[in-house]
Amino acid sequence: MHNFLKKFKALFGAQDMTVGSPFSCLIKFAVPLLIGNFAQLLYTTADAVVVGNVLGDEALAALGASMAPYNIFLVLLIGVGSGVTVMVSQYFGAKEYDNLALSIGNSITIVAFISIIITAVVTPLTGSILRLVDTPVEMFEMGHAYLTILFLGAAGFGFYNVLSGILRGLGEAMFPLLVLVAAVILNIALDIWFVAGLEMGVEGAAIATVISQVLAATVCLIKILKMRDVVKIHGHMIRLNRRISSQIIKLGCPTAISHAIMFAAMFTVQALINKMGVSVVAAMTATFRLDAFAIIPIQTFQIVGGTFTGQNIGAGKMDRVRQGTKTVLLMCFVFTGIVIVGMLLFGRNMLGLFTKSDDIIEMSITFVRILVPVYLFFSISGNLMGIMRGAGDAIGPMWIMMLNNLVLRVPLAYLMVHLSRTDSLPNGDPNVIWWATCLSMAIGCMITVTYYRLGHWRKKAIVGT
């Protein structure tokens, strides 16, 4: 077993993507990252499976109603993670190790500050946030308890997100994978113990997630501190450096705004969903869990393409960026296609993990079938955005996300729901919410391709600034 892990680490360990075959570099980096992203998804999936089976459909719906507001307030942490990953990959590619160390140290300080703000300011507002989206009374208290604990543990999410992003920027995908797998196993065990064994309800599921994330972040930090052959972190490096912290904010804010817009759209649409009743909310929650698996290849190759682009732009190798773009898109199509086929064939079985209600499963299957074209559009637009962010252009993708969500997705959802209202469906047909997503993603994909072909992103590198 030890020899197997040693060989696996040698094959899929830290990658210098500025040399060798682009396909070889990308696949070696992508495989452990794909596995890791699937494992990370099991955090919230484990919560949903245990809660849905032990506590019922109302508890499952409460978890679903909580996720949109939770995600909105984590966008700053996501932005810092995205910004520092770009900086680390470019400074690592350019061999600028002093700037590399400062980037890591400053990102840790910024995450600590943001986490304190979220915990202290947002947690007391949890009830008001849930009322804002018309959360049904049947699941309000459970949603409130679950969301409160997640906000209190925001630092765990923030530090894991940023520290694993730093490791990926260094081309290291193997170690975060091993940490994540261990954390997921712990989370599942704690879910079962807290919810089913100790009967702690949805609070137990939230506590299990927070504990697992905190431990995962701690282990990633220890790993970075021990990578002294690549980067040496000293106490003075966590003091904010004006130039470095400004770069993190400059790169991170557009990404944070992009995610805020996306999550705000989900938050706004959640208000429509909540009015349709507990059964629809539960079906939407189960569908989102399945949907999360479908977009994993896309999210993975966004990171892979961004890291590859960052390292090669840092090394001044634009020809490799062009080769890598074509390879990333092809690989993403293949992996996404495999997942979509699996969802269509085994979707009912997967949905049965969350609920035993045939009506909810049937409703969710209909949603999944409508969503299939979305994954094809997102494969193109998502990966091109990842490549542009890796090059240092976070502004362009931000505006595209804003247009796609605020101008297209939300207004279309409200319009189509309004037009679908009947005597039997006074709050509208839930299917049209997914059709609105389909249409907005198709238009957004065309806009992204056009912006990418204009080529302004090629001049946004931070190395040398």
pLDDT digits (tens, 9 = 90+) for 86-120: 777 777 767 777 777 788 888 888 888 888 888 88
- Please check the confidence at residue 16 and state whether its pLDDT lies above 80: no
Please enumerate, as own/partner, the contacts of 236-244 that have beta carbons within 8 Å and a separation of 24 or more: 237/101, 237/102, 237/104, 237/105, 237/106, 238/105, 238/106, 238/108, 238/109, 239/105, 239/109, 240/106, 240/109, 240/110, 241/102, 241/106, 244/87, 244/99, 244/102, 244/103, 244/106
Kindly list the distances between the CA atom of residue 397 and the CA atoms of 375, 381, 384, 407, in Å, as whole numbers in the listed order. 18, 9, 9, 15
* Alpha carbon distance 413, 415 (integer Å): 6
Q: What is the pLDDT of residue 321?
A: 82
Residue appearing with tokens 């508890």: 59
Mean of the pLDDT values across residues 291-312?
A: 81
Amino acid residing at 352: G
Q: What is the mean pLDDT of the chain?
A: 79
- Please check the confidence at residue 275 and state whether its pLDDT lies above 70: yes
Whole-number CA gyration radius for the chain: 21
* Alpha carbon distance 328, 354 (integer Å): 33
Mean of the pLDDT values across residues 392-408?
A: 81
* Alpha carbon distance 408, 332 (integer Å): 25
Mean of the pLDDT values across residues 279-296?
A: 80
Residue 248: which of 82, 377, 379 has the closest Cα? 82
Q: What is the pLDDT of residue 6?
A: 54
- Please check the confidence at residue 373 and state whether its pLDDT lies above 90: no
Q: What is the pLDDT of residue 460?
A: 67
Residue 336: alpha-carbon gap to chain centroid: 16
Mean of the pLDDT values across residues 4-10?
A: 49
Of 31-45, 143-157, 366-380, minimum mean pLDDT range: 31-45
Q: What is the pLDDT of residue 173?
A: 63
Q: Are 169 and 306 in contact (CB under 8 A)?
A: no
Mean of the pLDDT values across residues 365-383?
A: 88
Mean of the pLDDT values across residues 284-299?
A: 80
Residue appearing with tokens 């009967």: 199
More confident call, 372 vs 461: 372
- Please check the confidence at residue 189 and state whether its pLDDT lies above 60: yes
Residue appearing with tokens 């075959």: 21
The pLDDT confidence band at residue 40, using thresholds 50, 70 and 90, is low
pLDDT in tens, 192-221: 888 887 888 888 888 988 898 899 889 988
Q: Are 216 and 179 in contact (CB under 8 A)?
A: yes
H helix intervals, 73-96:
75-93
pTM: 0.66
Q: What is the pLDDT of residue 18?
A: 73
Give the angle subtended at the CA of 55 by the CAs of 51 and 56, to the nearest 5°: 95
Residue 94: how many CB atoms within 10 A of its CB?
Answer: 21
Q: What is the pLDDT of residue 4?
A: 46
- Please check the confidence at residue 446 and state whether its pLDDT lies above 90: yes
Tokens found for residue 121: 């300011």
- Please check the confidence at residue 185 and state whether its pLDDT lies above 80: yes
Q: What is the pLDDT of residue 265?
A: 76
- Please check the confidence at residue 295 and state whether its pLDDT lies above 90: no
Q: What is the pLDDT of residue 85?
A: 72
Mean of the pLDDT values across residues 446-460?
A: 85
Residue 25: how many CB atoms within 10 A of its CB?
Answer: 24
The pLDDT confidence band at residue 463, using thresholds 50, 70 and 90, is low
Q: What is the three-class DSSP state of 70? A: helix
Q: What is the pLDDT of residue 371?
A: 85
